[in-house]
Structure 1
């Protein structure tokens, strides 16, 4: 009997060890990087929104938020920097996913710019991506060629175009997508399946989860849209003020901060007819539903982490690829004629448009593709149980080029000088770990941050920001410490600062292969030229064009 009791106890001990195995087998932390597409600074509850984002809000309350975290103002250039830790021109994606005929503008990641997956895989990580890629050329720099073990979608056309798969989307009788075919759900489902596979290996994992939401066209599930019925009847002006007040209460913006000046071509809500307001509110209801569903996907990922015993040893980072866009598909690229169904259905070719993006980018000036804060300042959430103090809000002044050195330091993985016989570019960013762990309030860096995209330029050093908007070559200067809304251009009062930062900009531009956009403008795709023309027409119409 004694031996039977000992055997039973031994069996229970072995079973307990087996159950604990997934939690204990990987000493090095797992890493999850979540990227939203076209999400504005204030579109999460944790950043002031009325949209229900309980899962991301929980990550924020149990983790850290940064007030300033920068991207490259538009999709492909941001992804190139995020994946490599290089400025986008150095990585080969200086303009977009188009080849403009120069190495810095070839439209896909070059071999000298090593991806997160390549470096982490060499360091012993299982590497996973599900969602949007958008940094490859024809048969070049596809995700499975750049270090990823598990990839969705695994076809060249989707990777190159940025669209996550060519699968047929089945709909209900009204034209809304069925949940099992809805893009956000499919991206989440594939990521969860890959996590299941990774959990069977005796390795840590890296997951790059790149959602397409809430990028246009505005398509959502009817049950999500129903949650927001009537929530946007107040219009963008009132709701922007409400978000701003909540941001101050949360500590996301300082109590003495002011809102940016309203663009002259933002519609006056009071002048819209009842029918026009109904059309506009429907757009934002669908946009909110798309953000809501993204958050639900994050919740499923967190549940899977817990199920595989990885929830206590995983760093999760959430960011957006740019600010909310000014793109209005009704007028851009023959958009209105391409609608084959109401907004929200799969026949929709509608966008959030500049009017609602004005709300999304609260409290900032500018939009996607701009170098003012509304175009480049992203929400940033970091969660790492036991390592990052819950509820923290810090200034940060981080940049997507800082993610690579952060992950490599966390993983204990050395960034190689050469990879497969090719010399690797040095990393210009700084590790965020001192900020994440509470040692610093913002990133300590010796050099300023720099931007250029289609002639739009910016420099950030300390509290100073130098910026210019194409086609102008003149510089504006703002002190973001007391003017985050960029309302007061103080360039005339500080010629010395303008001169010093502009000299540094041109030195950086030369080092990274940046050229005067006037030399490339003729090579710009027609769709982008149409977009710029559309924006100009809006301004000329005084903000009331239908």
Structure 2
């Protein structure tokens, strides 16, 4: 057995805080629940509110603006917003490679500007020894764009295999890498990054998985939000003193909602997407057990942002989605025309549909918090975080309340593997790590941690201790005491103007140091971009 631990880092896409079973949800996730029951769950861990920035921060231990991914992988102009992982940062696999690790990736990359030609920002060029997955950030689960092995496009494999489903392909390749490594490199530790696209739209799932959730959500989003919060409190994850936020004011009460059959089907398909992912995680765990590596492997699971309230609007030009953004196919593999848009007369799930589950269900997914992907309020950045490592974490089923965020993951991985953080990359100095290792909380919560900072699309926050200063752009700054009001229902900014001023100054210093560009300037640049229409719709 290697003394150095293996690491399996699992990231899923656009999933809310309370969807999976071990975080109070109705979705059946026995494999994630098993990891939680035999490891640790974190109650206050944060992502960066959006796909590409979260991935860039996770992979580098820096803030996304420092890596070249300020918004998404479309160029919005100046340094920090180039939409391309730059050469001034070091990735986890690049660092681990210096310590004898082999590195594998299966799944969504989404930190490279060039989607079709290999560049210095593609996985093999950023430390991975093997890669299978997609370069783009979204698309059909049956026939994904930019499907790649190594540096070679292999879209034809999905197009000629009618059983292909991207979630399964990610899982099976990840399990195969583990078995392959055990046979070919038994004396080396490994790092594996498994990046699912589930449950990101479009709503694609198998009939048998969807059927499992028939009736599961019939009580509607209002009753289910209350039930989820109670389960989270009962599990010791959330404080019973924290109030459930009000239903999103743009959404009706469940009793007043129209098209209930279609609405329920949307949530059933969404749940089926997560269920299918969990099934695949089970196969990954099986591979670790079969090769005798589970006990000395740190398995980490989290989501890249909060639940997604984005609508798939009727009338978006198909050629924009297919040709410019490359996040859809115009036709199925059998030649049928794909039906785009959240139309209640089209039931989601099959390959010829392209829909999302909408604001009200996203509000349920983020129970008990408010707001969603894009925003820095708790609903946008709160993620489940599970750590499972039998040889390194003694407690089984523990809950940790110490706050943490994405830059901490690289710091933790380097710490447990005794890997030095490189000071240079290709002769160029790199910024120091922005995170702190979470190994300090393996044995129990700690009293204090360094301040945490966020910015995305002008939405911003700083958290210092129990105080969080947060802004929904372009609205004023709000102040919350997270110890008594983590659900952000009582804005205390007017009561504590000096604290607001101090925290704002701390935020401004961080933003200047890390290259955050004012949102007003970015909007000017976006208006000149071909993709601006779609990105503005998402915002």
1:140 to 120, 123, 136: 120
Show the counterpart of 2:215: 230
Cα distance, 1:338 vs. partner?
A: 2.1
Show the counterpart of 1:260: 245
Is the CA contact (8 Å cut-off) linking 2:449 and 2:465 kept in structure 1? no
2:92 pairs with 1:123? no
Query: Residues 86-117 of structure 1, C-alpha deviation per residue, up to 9 Å, x if partnerless?
Result: 00001111111111111110111111210001
Query: How many residues are aligned here?
Result: 495
Aligned pairs for 1:51-70 (under 5 A) are 51-70=27-46
Is the CA contact (8 Å cut-off) linking 2:339 and 2:352 kept in structure 1? no
2:435 pairs with 1:429? yes
Show the counterpart of 2:425: 419
CA distance in 1: counterparts of 2:505 and 2:362, whole angstroms: 33
1:221 to 197, 206, 223: 206
1:365 to 358, 362, 370: 370
Show the counterpart of 1:510: 512
Q: Which moved more, 1:131-140 or 1:220-229?
A: 131-140
Structure ranking higher in helix proportion: 1
Cα distance, 1:480 vs. partner?
A: 1.1
Give the match's secondary structure for 1:396: coil
Is the CA contact (8 Å cut-off) linking 1:332 and 1:530 kept in structure 2? no
Show the counterpart of 1:287: 270
Is the CA contact (8 Å cut-off) linking 2:228 and 2:367 kept in structure 1? yes
Cα distance, 1:211 vs. partner?
A: 0.4
Aligned pairs for 1:150-165 (under 5 A) are 150-153=130-133, 158-161=134-137, 165=147
Show the counterpart of 2:361: 356
TM-score between both structures, scaled by the size of structure 1: 0.87
1:429/1:486 Cα in 2 relative to 1: closer, same or farther (>3 Å)?
A: same
CA distance in 2: counterparts of 1:101 and 1:480, whole angstroms: 36
Is the CA contact (8 Å cut-off) linking 1:48 and 1:247 kept in structure 2? yes
Cα distance, 1:342 vs. partner?
A: 3.5
Show the counterpart of 1:100: 76
Is the CA contact (8 Å cut-off) linking 2:52 and 2:73 kept in structure 1? yes
Show the counterpart of 1:198: 181
Cα distance, 1:257 vs. partner?
A: 1.6
The alignment yields a C-alpha RMSD, in angstroms, of 2.0
2:396 pairs with 1:390? yes
1:241/1:161 Cα in 2 relative to 1: closer, same or farther (>3 Å)?
A: closer
Give the match's secondary structure for 1:105: coil
Cα distance, 1:423 vs. partner?
A: 1.3
Give the match's secondary structure for 1:493: coil
Give the match's secondary structure for 1:344: coil
CA distance in 1: counterparts of 2:62 and 2:316, whole angstroms: 32
TM-score between both structures, scaled by the size of structure 2: 0.88
CA distance in 1: counterparts of 2:530 and 2:251, whole angstroms: 25
2:129 to 134, 149, 152: 149
CA distance in 1: counterparts of 2:496 and 2:315, whole angstroms: 39
Structure 2: 5+ residue runs without aligned partners? 148-154, 319-337
Is the CA contact (8 Å cut-off) linking 1:133 and 1:162 kept in structure 2? no
1:321 to 286, 290, 304: 304
Cα distance, 1:440 vs. partner?
A: 3.1
